[in-house]
Amino acid sequence: MTASSVSLLDLSRKRRIGILLICCMSLFIVGLDNTIVNVALPSIGRAFHASLSGLQWIVDAYTLILASFLMLSGSTADRVGRRRTFQSGLLLFSLGSLACSLSPNLGSLVGFRMLQAIGGSMLNPVALSIITNTFTEPKERAQAIGVWGAVVGVSMALGPIVGGALVTSVGWESIFWINVPIGVAALLLAGRFIPESKAAHARRVDPFGQVLIVIFLGTLTYGIIEGPGSGWTSPSELLIFAISVVSLVVLVFAELHRNEPLIDLRFFRSIPFTGATLVAIGAFVSLSGFLFLNTLYLQNVRGLTPLGAGIDTLPMASMSIVCSPLSGRLVGTLGPRVSLIIGGVGLGVGALLLVTLTATTPFAFLFLAYVVFGVGFGFINAPITNTAVSGMPRAQAGVAAAVASTSRQVGQSLGVAIVGALAAVGSGTYLGRGFTSSTHSSWLVMVVIGIVIVTIGFATTTPWAKQSAQRTAERFGR
């Protein structure tokens, strides 16, 4: 009997654990990539004589494509087969990683990062779907998803250390090599051990909505990143932002009139769902902004090696790992409000401590800020998906979770774009002497985000908000 013919319900426990480990391998390389690239940015910048906007595109080319295609990849997997889509993602991600390491210039690196992202979009949501369909018993499924979540923290913590060690000892190209053997191993193991599965009723593809999402996110991010160099009121910038606005308006109109839209806008009638979307965007604007500014500050301003910068980032990553399961327990017993409030306060206070950052700020003070920021992010990430699916019918929970995941990636893209644009205003597009002081406005933005998250934490957990979620669920039919 071939792997593809084995029913998911008939799998042995050992086989199910094997499937979980294979899926976690894909999560590990994608999670590692999120933090490992940031540590290498200064080295890549020197190798290619890249401007600040060039460094922004190395990150955002990846996160933009990932955000744009996550939902399409999920629906494609349900239609053509989850294992097939998962293996395609592993192949593209591995090839893209290899191509990135061989890039002769900045433009090709950005292009290959986009190829990487197309593969990455087929991994996490599809792997989570495979896990959900493999572990059908609720308790066992919860344990499997717990392991899945722990891998996120481990990859986040290892990224700066592994990346710093590789860049310091071998060179920036090596941060992409590490993905290849893991990706190839997961690809081969998936073919051997993961049975094929499809959804009984897969959602239709929405190509028009997909194109509009790419145009909207692409033009918005391009306008923000290139604004300092082109001039915010230049004809080209105004045209870019006009295209972004028009594409968003057309997207909203088109999605409201489709039977099976890519994004069902009726979800946003639920106050908890809307709040979760905003929290996801805000939290990941802060996280990506923190990682982007921090690595440039520690290496270009404080003169640390990539490995030294990675080690100094550990307090933030460690606290995030410690606090994530604590937040999960709080959400399970008290609901999301407490976690959202602690998370918002942590992000806001951590950023506030960095508002007065200078080239001689004591490292002990930096570590305090990193610890507080890590606590905030650790508490904020757990309730996002929980709040998004709160009150939703089970049939819509997967789509709601996919929107929350997409919101995280949108936040990452916007975070790098916004903080880079603000830094460029004060220091110029080539990381001038005023870089440290020019980051103060970015930290202030993160303080405001923390305040907004606390406000959302209160607003989305009121009886009125819960009633809106119930009404939304009734419209969909439980």
Kindly report, residue by residue over 318-376, the tens digit of the pLDDT. 888 888 878 878 887 888 889 999 999 999 999 999 999 999 999 999 999 999 999 99
- Asked if the model's pLDDT at residue 2 lies above 50, the reply is no
Torsion of CA 395, 398, 404, 408, to 10 degrees: -170
CB 280 within 8 A of CB 347: no
- Asked if the model's pLDDT at residue 393 lies above 70, the reply is no
- At 335, which amino acid appears? G
- pLDDT classification of 4: cutoffs 50, 70, 90: very low
Average pLDDT over residues 422-439: 72
- Asked if the model's pLDDT at residue 202 lies above 90, the reply is no
- pLDDT classification of 398: cutoffs 50, 70, 90: low
Model confidence, pTM: 0.87
Nearest to 452 by CA among 338, 374, 352, 345: 345
- pLDDT classification of 20: cutoffs 50, 70, 90: confident
Measured CA to CA, the distance from residue 62 to residue 211 in angstroms comes to 17
> Would you say the C-alpha torsion 336, 338, 339, 342 has a positive or negative sign?
positive
Measured CA to CA, the distance from residue 242 to residue 108 in angstroms comes to 28
Q: What is the pLDDT of residue 433?
A: 60
CB 12 within 8 A of CB 139: no
Is pLDDT larger for residue 188 or for residue 322? 188
Q: What is the pLDDT of residue 10?
A: 53
Is pLDDT larger for residue 399 or for residue 462? 462
- Asked if the model's pLDDT at residue 450 lies above 70, the reply is yes
Is the domain defined by 1-204 classed in CATH 3.90.700.10? no
- Asked if the model's pLDDT at residue 244 lies above 80, the reply is yes
Average pLDDT of the chain is 85
Q: What is the pLDDT of residue 130?
A: 83
- Asked if the model's pLDDT at residue 205 lies above 80, the reply is no
Percentage of residues in the chain having pLDDT higher than 90: 41
Q: What is the pLDDT of residue 45?
A: 92
Kindly report, residue by residue over 129-178, the tens digit of the pLDDT. 788 777 777 667 767 766 776 777 678 778 888 889 999 999 999 999 99
Same fold, 1-204 and 264-478: yes
Percentage of residues in the chain having pLDDT higher than 70: 90
Q: Which two tokens stand for residue 387?
A: 């709040």
Q: Which two tokens stand for residue 455?
A: 């406000």
Q: What is the pLDDT of residue 6?
A: 45
- Asked if the model's pLDDT at residue 117 lies above 90, the reply is yes
Q: What is the pLDDT of residue 5?
A: 39
> Would you say the C-alpha torsion 59, 60, 64, 67 has a positive or negative sign?
positive
- Asked if the model's pLDDT at residue 268 lies above 50, the reply is yes
Average pLDDT over residues 210-235: 89
- Asked if the model's pLDDT at residue 263 lies above 70, the reply is yes
Q: What is the pLDDT of residue 137?
A: 73
CATH topology of domain 264-478: Growth Hormone; Chain: A; (1.20.1250)
How do the domains of the chain map onto residue ranges?
Answer: 1-204, 207-257, 264-478
Nearest to 20 by CA among 133, 136, 144, 126: 144
Nearest to 415 by CA among 225, 219, 160, 156: 225
- pLDDT classification of 27: cutoffs 50, 70, 90: confident
- Asked if the model's pLDDT at residue 466 lies above 80, the reply is yes
Is pLDDT larger for residue 237 or for residue 78? 237
